[in-house]
C-alpha cells in the first residue's frame, strides 16, 4: 500500500507497496534515503484501510509527480494494492503520469503474465470478484510489468539499488528538493541533506564535497551550515574564495602562506609561524574541527590544506565547495552533495524575494515574472541579480529591461560564469562554444559526438570536463543541457571575436546572418550558422555567398514557426551556390531550389535535412555519402525521385513522409545495411519498392497511407514494427512474415487487404482495421504475447478462431467489433 500522511501535503512520490513484504526493511531504507535527497514521499499510515481505496489516496496519486510501484511476491494478495495500481495506470494513460517500477524479489514476467506463485496469489484475490474488476487488475499488472525498472536480483546490495532508484527518481522529477527558509529558498532542505552526509555522531574524520555550477548557492549553503549552532567542534574556520586567494605555481613559500592563513584563522592567532607543511597536522591532529574550503579550483589547494585525514582529530569535518567534481574525486572525496537547480515554483519565489521583497508575485506581474525566471533558467544568482535590478520598477520598466536581458548578459553574472570558461583548455573552450552557439537544444550525446567526430576536439573527455566543471549536464535521456546564461556567455565570447560578423566562428543573430549572406562577407573563420527565419523579411542570398566559408561545417536554416512562415519558403537563392567542402550538417527547411547546386559534393555530410523543400530531385549520379547517417526529406511535396544511395553505406535513418510526388524507391537501398528506420508515411504516389532484400539493421518501417502501394515490403527479416495501413496491398505473403521472428507490431489494415495466412509468433499488436479479409489465421490461438487485436470495420470477417488466454486480447477485440460476435 502507498507510502504517505493522511493529510495530503506537497510531495514528490506516491509509492504503492505491500506492507508486510517491504515496510520494515527495504521501504524504510528507501524512504530514509529519499529524505536525505529531499524527496518527499506520501505516507498512508493513518488512513484506515477498508474494503475500498480511500478518496485521499486517489487525490494523492493524482497530485504526485511520480508514482513508484514496488512489486513484491505478495503484492497481488491485496485488493487495496491492485485498486491503487489500477488508478495509477489510469492516470498514466489519461494524464501522462510518470510511473516507475521496482521488482523486489519477484520476476517481472510472473507479474506480466500473472503466473507462478504470483499468479496463484492473484487468482485467490480475484475469487468472487466481477469479471470487469479482474480484467482491470490484470491489465494494470501487465502494463506496469512492461515498464522497465530496477530488479533486486540484479543488484549486489540493496543499498546500491536504493541509491540508483533515488537518482532515477531525482532525474524524473528534475528538481532540487523543496526549499523554504529565511534568506535562501530551500536552505533547510539543503542543510538536512548535508547533515545526513556529515554524520556528526560518527568519530571518523570525513571530507564532504559540495558541487554545482557558479551562482547556484554553494557558498551560501556552506556558510549557513557553518553558522549552525553546534558544540561538536573545538575550532571552526571558513576559508572563502580560495580561487581568488591562491594561485597555483608550485611555490613552496606560497604553500606555507596558505597553511599559515588557515591556522591563523582557525586558532585566532595572527602571529602564528609556519616553517614546514606539517604545521596543520601538528596543530590540529588531536582537535575536532569544522573547516570549510570554499570555491576550490585547484587540487593543489586540497593537498596543501587537507592532504590527509590524519591531519585532523576524530570527528572532524572538512567541507569543500567547487564547480569541478573531478577535483573532489582526485582527492578521494566520495561524499559529494550536488546542488541542483530549483524548481520553477522555487525560482519564482527567489525572483519575487529579490524584486518584491516577498514570496508572492505582485498583481499584474505574473507573466513578466515567468518570462524573467525562464530566461534565467532558475539559476539562483541570475534570479537574484535580475530581480534586484527590477525592484520597484513599473511593468513598463520590466518589459523594457526584459528586452535588454534577452539580448545581453548582466555583467555581475558574467563575471562569475566567465571564470570557469577562462580556466578551460583551448579544446574544451572550443567545445563549450560549439554547444553554447549551435548544439544547445537538449543535444543527444551520440549525435554531438558524431557531428564533431573529425574535429580536433576530444568530445568524450571534453564533455566529461564540462560536466565536472558544472558547465553542462546530461539529462535522464542522455541529452546535453547547458544553462541559458552559460549559452549567452558563450555567444558573447563569440561576438567579441570580431566586430565583423563574418569573421566570427558562429552566427546566430538573424540580422547578422542576413547581412553576411546578402553582402557576401563570410570568411573561413565561420564554423556554424544557425539561422531562425521566423521573424525575418524576405531577402536574397547573394551569388557566391558561401564561397569564402571554406571552414563551414554546420548550416541550419529553419523557422520556429514551422510550415506557417512564408518568409522561409520565399527566400530567394541563386542556383550556383558554391560548394562548402567541410559541411557536416545541412539542415535547410523550405529549401527553395528545385535541386541542390551541381557543385555540391557531400562527402563529409553526416545529416541532410531538407524538410518542406521545393526539391524535385537532389542531384544527378552517385555521390560519395560514406559519412551520411540521416536523410530527412519529409514534406518535400514535389520530390519525384531519390538519388542513387549505393554509397550511403552508413545511413541509419531515411525519412520521406509526405513526399507525395515520389513514385518509387531506388534499387540502391539494398546497400543500406545499417539502415534502422524507414518512414514513408503518406507518399500517395508511391507504387514500387525493392523486394527480396534483407536490410539486416532495419527494425521500423512506416508506409501508412501510401495509397498506391501494391507491393508488400519484403526488405528485412528483422522488422519489429510495420505500419502499412490504407495501401493497395492485397496479400501478406506467409513466406515473408514467416521469417519475421522479431516482429512485435503489425498494422496492415486497409480496404484492399484480402488475405492473411500467417502472423509472426511474437506479435503483441495486430491491426486489421477496415480490411476485406474473411478469416483470421488459426495460428493466432498460439500468439501468447498478443495484447491488441483490432478488427474494426472488417465487414467480410466470418468466424474468429480461439483467442490466446489473455483478457486484454478479448477486451481489445470486443471494443473494436462493429457488431457483437461470439469468440471462444
Catalytically annotated residues: 84
- Three-class SS state of 178: coil
Provide the sign of the torsion angle of the four alpha carbons 356, 358, 360, 362, taken in this order. Answer: negative
**Beta-bridge mates of residue 238:** 292
C-alpha cell at 696: 539486416
Q: In whole angstroms, what is the distance from residue 1 CA to residue 5 CA? A: 12
Contact (Cβ atoms closer than 8 angstroms) between residue 484 and residue 503:
no
Q: In whole angstroms, what is the distance from residue 73 CA to residue 346 CA? A: 40
State the residue for C-alpha cell 513526399. Answer: 659
Q: In whole angstroms, what is the distance from residue 51 CA to residue 61 CA? A: 18
Contact (Cβ atoms closer than 8 angstroms) between residue 631 and residue 653:
yes
Q: In whole angstroms, what is the distance from residue 604 CA to residue 583 CA? A: 6
Give the H or E element holding residue 292: strand 289-293
- The DSSP symbol for 27 reads I
**For residue 495, which of 414, 437, 449 has the smallest C-alpha distance?**
437
Instruction: Report how far Cα 667 is from the mean position of its chain's Cα atoms.
Output: 37
- Residues in contact with 789: Cβ distance below 8 Å, sequence separation at least 6, in sequence order: 766, 768, 780, 803, 809, 812, 813, 816
- Residues in contact with 162: Cβ distance below 8 Å, sequence separation at least 6, in sequence order: 26, 29, 30, 33
Provide the sign of the torsion angle of the four alpha carbons 155, 157, 158, 162, taken in this order. Answer: negative
- Residues in contact with 495: Cβ distance below 8 Å, sequence separation at least 6, in sequence order: 504
- Residues in contact with 170: Cβ distance below 8 Å, sequence separation at least 6, in sequence order: 37, 39, 340
CA distances from 560 to 536, 571, 617 (A): 12, 16, 26
**For residue 239, which of 362, 317, 321 has the smallest C-alpha distance?**
321
Give the H or E element holding residue 151: strand 150-151
Q: Specify whether the backbone of 53 is left (phi greater than 0), alpha (psi in -120 to 50) or beta.
A: beta
Contact (Cβ atoms closer than 8 angstroms) between residue 98 and residue 172:
yes
- Residues in contact with 663: Cβ distance below 8 Å, sequence separation at least 6, in sequence order: 640, 641, 685, 686, 687, 688
Amino acid at each position: 500500500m502507498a507510502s504517505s500522511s493522511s493529510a495530503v501535503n506537497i510531495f514528490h512520490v506516491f509509492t504503492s507497496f505491500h506492507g508486510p513484504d517491504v515496510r520494515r526493511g527495504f521501504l524504510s531504507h528507501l524512504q530514509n534515503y529519499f529524505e536525505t535527497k529531499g524527496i518527499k514521499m506520501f505516507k498512508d499510515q493513518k488512513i484506515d484501510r477498508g474494503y475500498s481505496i480511500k478518496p485521499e489516496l486517489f487525490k494523492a496519486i493524482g497530485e504526485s509527480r511520480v508514482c513508484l510501484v514496488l512489486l513484491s511476491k505478495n503484492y497481488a494478495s491485496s485488493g487495496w494494492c491492485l485498486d491503487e495500481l489500477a488508478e495509477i495506470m489510469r492516470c498514466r494513460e489519461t494524464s501522462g503520469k510518470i510511473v516507475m517500477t521496482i521488482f523486489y524479489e519477484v520476476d517481472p514476467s510472473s507479474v506480466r503474465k500473472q503466473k507462478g506463485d504470483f499468479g496463484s496469489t492473484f487468482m485467490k484475490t480475484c475469487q468472487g470478484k466481477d469479471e470487469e474488476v479482474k480484467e482491470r487488475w490484470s491489465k494494470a499488472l501487465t502494463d506496469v510489468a512492461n515498464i522497465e525498472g530496477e530488479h533486486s536480483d540484479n543488484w549486489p546490495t540493496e543499498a546500491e539499488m536504493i541509491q540508483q532508484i533515488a537518482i532515477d527518481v531525482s532525474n524524473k522529477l528534475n528538481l532540487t528538493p523543496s526549499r523554504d527558509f529565511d534568506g535562501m529558498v530551500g536552505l533547510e532542505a539543503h542543510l538536512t541533506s548535508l547533515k545526513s552526509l556529515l554524520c556528526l555522531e560518527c568519530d571518523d574524520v570525513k571530507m564532504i564535497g559540495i558541487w554545482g555550477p557558479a551562482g547556484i548557492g554553494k557558498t551560501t549553503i556552506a556558510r549557513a551550515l557553518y553558522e549552525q549552532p553546534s558544540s561538536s567542534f573545538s575550532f571552526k574556520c571558513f576559508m572563502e574564495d580560495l580561487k581568488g586567494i591562491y594561485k597555483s605555481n608550485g611555490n613552496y613559500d606560497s604553500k606555507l602562506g596558505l597553511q599559515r592563513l588557515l591556522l591563523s584563522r582557525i586558532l585566532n592567532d595572527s602571529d602564528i609561524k609556519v616553517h614546514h607543511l606539517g604545521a596543520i597536522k601538528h596543530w590540529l591532529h588531536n582537535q575536532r574541527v569544522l573547516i570549510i574550503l570554499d570555491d576550490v579550483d585547484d587540487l593543489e589547494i586540497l593537498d596543501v590544506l587537507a592532504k590527509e585525514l590524519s591531519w585532523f582529530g576524530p570527528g572532524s569535518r572538512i567541507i569543500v565547495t567547487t564547480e569541478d567534481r573531478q577535483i573532489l574525486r582526485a582527492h578521494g572525496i566520495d561524499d559529494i552533495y550536488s546542488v541542483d537547480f530549483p524548481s520553477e515554483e522555487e525560482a519564482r519565489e527567489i525572483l519575487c524575494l529579490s524584486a518584491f521583497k516577498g514570496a508572492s508575485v505582485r498583481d499584474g506581474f505574473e507573466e513578466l515574472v515567468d518570462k524573467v525566471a525562464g530566461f534565467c533558467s532558475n539559476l539562483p544568482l541570475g534570479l537574484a541579480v535580475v530581480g534586484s535590478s527590477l525592484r520597484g520598477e513599473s511593468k513598463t520598466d520590466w518589459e523594457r529591461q526584459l528586452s535588454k536581458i534577452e539580448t545581453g548578459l548582466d555583467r555581475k553574472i558574467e563575471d562569475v560564469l566567465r571564470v570557469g570558461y577562462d580556466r578551460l583548455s583551448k579544446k574544451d573552450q572550443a567545445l563549450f562554444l560549439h554547444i553554447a552557439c549551435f548544439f544547445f537544444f537538449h543535444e543527444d550525446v551520440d549525435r554531438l559526438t558524431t557531428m564533431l567526430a573529425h574535429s580536433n576536439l576530444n568530445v568524450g573527455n571534453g564533455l566529461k570536463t564540462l560536466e565536472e566543471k558544472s558547465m553542462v549536464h546530461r539529462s535522464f535521456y542522455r541529452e546535453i543541457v547547458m544553462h541559458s546564461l552559460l549559452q549567452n556567455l558563450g555567444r558573447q565570447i563569440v561576438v567579441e571575436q570580431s566586430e565583423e560578423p563574418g569573421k566570427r566562428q558562429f552566427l546566430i543573430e538573424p540580422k547578422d546572418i542576413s547581412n553576411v549572406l546578402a553582402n557576401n562577407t563570410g570568411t573561413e573563420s565561420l564554423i556554424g550558422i544557425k539561422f531562425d527565419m521566423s521573424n525575418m523579411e524576405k531577402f536574397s542570398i547573394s551569388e557566391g555567398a558561401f564561397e569564402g566559408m571554406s571552414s563551414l561545417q554546420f548550416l541550419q536554416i529553419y523557422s520556429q514557426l514551422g510550415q506557417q512562415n512564408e518568409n522561409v519558403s520565399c527566400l530567394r537563392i541563386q542556383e550556383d551556390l558554391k560548394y562548402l567542402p567541410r559541411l557536416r550538417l545541412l539542415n535547410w527547411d523550405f529549401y527553395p531550389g528545385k535541386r541542390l547546386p551541381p557543385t555540391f559534393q557531400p562527402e563529409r555530410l553526416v545529416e541532410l535535412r531538407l524538410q518542406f523543400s521545393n526539391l524535385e530531385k537532389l542531384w544527378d549520379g552517385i555521390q560519395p555519402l560514406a559519412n551520411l547517417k540521416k536523410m530527412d526529406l519529409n514534406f518535400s511535396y514535389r520530390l519525384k525521385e531519390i538519388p542513387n544511395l549505393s554509397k550511403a553505406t552508413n545511413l541509419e535513418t531515411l525519412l520521406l513522409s509526405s513526399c507525395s510526388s515520389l513514385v518509387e524507391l531506388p534499387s540502391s537501398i539494398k546497400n543500406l545495411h545499417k539502415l534502422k528506420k524507414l518512414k514513408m508515411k503518406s507518399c500517395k504516389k508511391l507504387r514500387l519498392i525493392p523486394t527480396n532484400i534483407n536490410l539486416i539493421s532495419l527494425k521500423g518501417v512506416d508506409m501508412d497511407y501510401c495509397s498506391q502501394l501494391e507491393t508488400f515490403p519484403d526488405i528485412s527479416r528483422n522488422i519489429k514494427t510495420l505500419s502499412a495501413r490504407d495501401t493497395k496491398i492485397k496479400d501478406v505473403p506467409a513466406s515473408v512474415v514467416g521469417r519475421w521472428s522479431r516482429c512485435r507490431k503489425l498494422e496492415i489494415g486497409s480496404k484492399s487487404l484480402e488475405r492473411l495466412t500467417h502472423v509472426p509468433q511474437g506479435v503483441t499488436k495486430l491491426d486489421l482495421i477496415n480490411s476485406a479479409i474473411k478469416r483470421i489465421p488459426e495460428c493466432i490461438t498460439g500468439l501468447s504475447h498478443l495484447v491488441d487485436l483490432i478488427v474494426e470495420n472488417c465487414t467480410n470477417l466470418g468466424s474468429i478462431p480461439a483467442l490466446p488466454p489473455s483478457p486484454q486480447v478479448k477486451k481489445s477485440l470486443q471494443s473494436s467489433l462493429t457488431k457483437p460476435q461470439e469468440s471462444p
